[in-house]
Amino acid sequence: MRFLKGFRKDPFFYLGSFSIILFLVLIFASFYRFDGQSMINIEKLVNSFTNQKNQLKTNELYIKSVKNFGLESPDFCLVQKSSLMGLSSPSTINQQSLGSLISVPEGGPEANKEIIEYIVESGDTLLNIAAQFNISLETLLWANNLNKNSKIKVGQRLTILPVSGVIHYVKSGDTLSEIAKNYKADVGEIVAFNELSGESDIYIGDILIIPDGVMPPPPKTKTPSVSEYLETPLAKSYFIYPISPPYKITKGLHFYNAIDLTNGKCGSPIYAVAQGEVLKTKFGWNRGYGNYLSILHPNGVVTTYAHLQAILVSPGAQVSQGQIIGLMGGSPGSPGAGHSTGCHLHFEVHGAKNPFSR
């Protein structure tokens, strides 16, 4: 107490006390408006902060565009426990293929661009099948080499297009402008619907959907039908199996002249069935094919390998029979699997009979 009594006589005591009181008054006054209104609404500030926080979380759900990409080293995998190979990836990634690599839900926007197979049930007619899939009767007939008088039977497989129009199987010498003219269709619509990069982005063996296309009248000179085209025989030794044993066919002949093969080993090598040139490689959803590649062989036949975990060759590359060209994928939900329901290879033959079909 004596200390305080002596301290109170010091003038600096009063100056210090006054400064502290003034400082506290200024701080307290900062919470008030100078016009005499009530205290700042703290609740509004809290709500504003909460909204900004929620908005930030929402923005984190989207992938931001990146203008510049740095060089990345390739991923590597061990093949048959003896060889180290690099996994190739898309040289460019567009918005659509990136979305496909992330996730494409079943029945999503890509689903309505797929060609599917329908198995005829009891009571079905050509007319009600066409109506069921919201396509014209002519579209159904053209896609299956039928006419209005054709009879269908239970268990028969029918090719169903996603829209009214025509299927075109690209042959050597085809151009998009000639294809559009032949089917009375629009080049731009063909490019857009088939997700082509341009008019030149077609290859032998490609399957194009021609929206609103009309099948031209048959020529006076008979040309081979699709069924005859697929029955062209191959020498038994021309193709080797595209996978290592044990060979198991998980799905017999289906669209397009394809079979599904597996040895039960996801990530196992996929082999070129014969010598040839890699026509193209595609990454992403690709109408359910997933990652796939196609090879043009010296006899004009094209083979397609789909649902790949990885692609180990590039377009234009010359491959030899038995060369490893990819790795088996198809595990549902994995990148490049497409609409696969299990680990297998979808193998197509364009221009000849599929030698592995039964």
Question: What does the DSSP assignment read for 65-80?
Answer: P-S-----PPEEEEET
**pLDDT of the residue at 106:** 46
**Distance, CA of 122 to CA of 144 (rounded, Å):** 19
**Distance, CA of 331 to CA of 255 (rounded, Å):** 20
Question: How does pLDDT run along the chain (358 residues), one tens digit per residue?
Answer: 444 455 455 666 666 666 777 667 666 655 544 444 444 444 554 455 455 545 544 444 433 443 443 334 445 555 555 555 555 444 433 333 333 333 334 444 454 678 888 999 998 999 999 999 999 999 999 999 998 888 999 999 899 999 999 999 998 889 999 999 999 999 999 999 998 988 888 998 888 999 999 999 876 655 445 554 455 556 566 899 999 999 899 888 888 888 999 998 889 999 999 999 999 998 988 888 889 999 999 988 999 999 999 999 999 999 999 999 999 988 887 878 877 878 999 999 998 888 888 6
The structural domains of the chain, ordered by start, are 2-59 (no CATH), 76-107+230-358 (2.70.70.10), 108-219 (3.10.350.10)
**pLDDT of the residue at 260:** 92
- pTM of the predicted protein model: 0.61
**pLDDT of the residue at 335:** 79
CB 313 within 8 Å of CB 325: yes
